[in-house]
Amino acid sequence: MSVRELVVLGSSSAVPTRHRNHNGYLLRWDGQGVLFDPGEGTQRQMIMAGLAANDITWMCLTHFHGDHCLGVPGLVQRIARDGVAHPVHAVFPASGARYWERLRHATPHRESDVIVETPVAGERATLATGDPFTLTARLLSHPVEAYGYRLEEPDGLTMLPARLAELGVRGPLVRGLQEDGRVTTPDGRAVTLEECSVRRPGQKVAFVMDTRLCDGVYELAEGVDLLVIESTFLDEEAALAADYGHLTAGQAGEVAKRAGVGRLVLTHISERYRPSDEPRFVEQAARVFDGEITLVHDLDRIPLPPRRAPH
Amino acid sequence: MSVRELVVLGSSSAVPTRHRNHNGYLLRWDGQGVLFDPGEGTQRQMIMAGLAANDITWMCLTHFHGDHCLGVPGLVQRIARDGVAHPVHAVFPASGARYWERLRHATPHRESDVIVETPVAGERATLATGDPFTLTARLLSHPVEAYGYRLEEPDGLTMLPARLAELGVRGPLVRGLQEDGRVTTPDGRAVTLEECSVRRPGQKVAFVMDTRLCDGVYELAEGVDLLVIESTFLDEEAALAADYGHLTAGQAGEVAKRAGVGRLVLTHISERYRPSDEPRFVEQAARVFDGEITLVHDLDRIPLPPRRAPH
Contacts with B77 (C-beta within 8 Å, 6 or more apart), sequence order: A66, B107, B109
d(CA B176, CA A219): 80
User: In chain B, what percentage of residues exceed pLDDT 70?
Assistant: 99
Task: Spell out the residues 6+ positions from residue A141 whose beta carbon is closer than 8 angstroms to its own.
Answer: A211, A212, A213, A214, A216, A245
Output the pLDDT for position B225: 97
Does residue B69 sit at the A interface (CB-CB below 8 Å)? yes
Alpha-carbon span A263 to A252, nearest angstrom: 12
Provide the pLDDT for residue B301: 98
Of the partner residues A64, A74, A106, the one whose CB lies closest to the CB of residue B102? A106
Class of domain A4-155+201-303: alpha beta
CB atoms within 10 A of CB B280: 15
pLDDT digits (tens, 9 = 90+) for B186-208: 989 999 999 999 998 999 999 99
- pLDDT exceeds 90 at position B285: yes
Closest CA to B283 of B260, B305, B253, B247: B253
Is residue A142 marked as binding? yes
Contacts of A73 in chain B (CB under 8 A): 40, 66, 70, 106
Catalytic-labelled residue, pool B30, B37, B67, B298? B67
Determine the pLDDT at residue A308: 81
Counting residues of chain A whose pLDDT is more than 70, the rounded percentage is 99
Interchain CB distance below 8 Å, B64 and A108: yes
Q: What's the pLDDT score for residue B110? A: 92
Residue A65, annotated as binding a ligand: yes
Distances (CA, A) of A14 to A101, A107, B73, B170: 22, 24, 13, 61
Judged against a pLDDT cut of 80, whether residue A243 lies above it is answered with yes
Alpha helices in A52-148 (DSSP H): 72-81, 97-104
pLDDT greater than 70 at residue A1: no
Q: What's the pLDDT score for residue A182? A: 92
Dump the DSSP string for A224-259.
Answer: -SEEEEE--B-GGGHHHHHHHT--BHHHHHHHHHHH
Domain layout of chain A by residue ranges: 4-155+201-303, 157-198
| Residue B163 to residue B161: CA distance in whole angstroms | 5
Closest CA to A290 of A311, A249, A261, A266: A261
Distance CA A49, CA A181 (A): 43
For position B310, what pLDDT does the model report? 75
Helix (H, G, I), strand (E, B) or coil at B216: helix
* Cis status, amide bond into A108, omega within 30 of 0: no
- Taking residues B39-68, what's their average pLDDT? 98
Nearest-by-CA chain B residue for A79: B15
Residue of A30, A37, A55, A67 marked active site: A67
Has A187 been annotated as catalytic? no
| B308 pLDDT tier (thresholds 50, 70, 90) | confident
Q: What is the pLDDT of residues B254-268, one digit of tens each?
A: 999 999 999 999 999
What is the reported pLDDT for B306?
87
Q: Residue B15: its chain A contacts at CB < 8 A?
A: 78, 81
Contact residues, B window 142-161, toward A, CB-based 8 Å cutoff: 144
CA distances from residue A58 to A6, A26, A55, A118, B104 in whole angstroms, order as listed: 14, 9, 9, 10, 26
Could you tell me if A50 lies within 8 Å of chain B, comparing CB atoms?
no
- Mean pLDDT computed over B167-181: 90
pLDDT in tens, B4-23: 999 999 999 999 999 999 99
Q: Is the dihedral of CA B205, B211, B215, B216 positive or negative?
A: negative
- Using the predicted structure, report yes or no on whether residue B311 has a pLDDT greater than 80: no
pLDDT tens digits along A24-63: 999 999 999 999 999 999 999 999 999 999 999 999 999 9
Query: Residue B100 carries which DSSP code?
Result: H
Nearest to A16 among B17, B44, B106 (CB): B44
CA distance A50 to A40: 18
For position A307, what pLDDT does the model report?
84
Q: Give the pLDDT band of residue B235 (cuts 50, 70, 90).
A: very high
Asked whether the predicted pLDDT for residue A97 surpasses 60, the reply is yes
Give A-chain residues touching B102 at CB under 8 angstroms.
102-103, 105-107
Q: Is B97 an 8 Å CB contact of chain A? A: no
pLDDT band of B86, cuts 50, 70, 90: very high
B236: distance to nearest CA of chain A, Å? 23
Mean pLDDT rounded to a whole number for chain A: 96
Residue B57 has pLDDT above 90, yes or no: yes
Q: pLDDT at residue A111 above 70?
A: yes
DSSP assignment of A182-210: EEE-TTS-EEEGGGGEEEEPPPEEEEE-S
Q: What is the mean pLDDT of chain B?
A: 96
pLDDT at B113: 95
Residue pairs between chains A and B whose CB atoms are closer than 8 Å? 102
Q: Which of B21, B77, B108 sits opposite A99 (nearest CB)?
A: B108
- The response to whether B55 counts as a known ligand-binding position is no
Interchain CB distance below 8 Å, B21 and A44: yes
Mapping DSSP to helix (H, G, I), strand (E, B) and coil, where does residue B107 land? coil
pLDDT of residue B1: 53
| Closest-CA residue to B229 (of B217, B245, B219) | B217
pLDDT over 90 percentage in chain A: 90
Average pLDDT score over residue span A195-215: 95
What average pLDDT does the segment B40-52 reach? 98
Cα nearest neighbour of B82 on chain A: A15
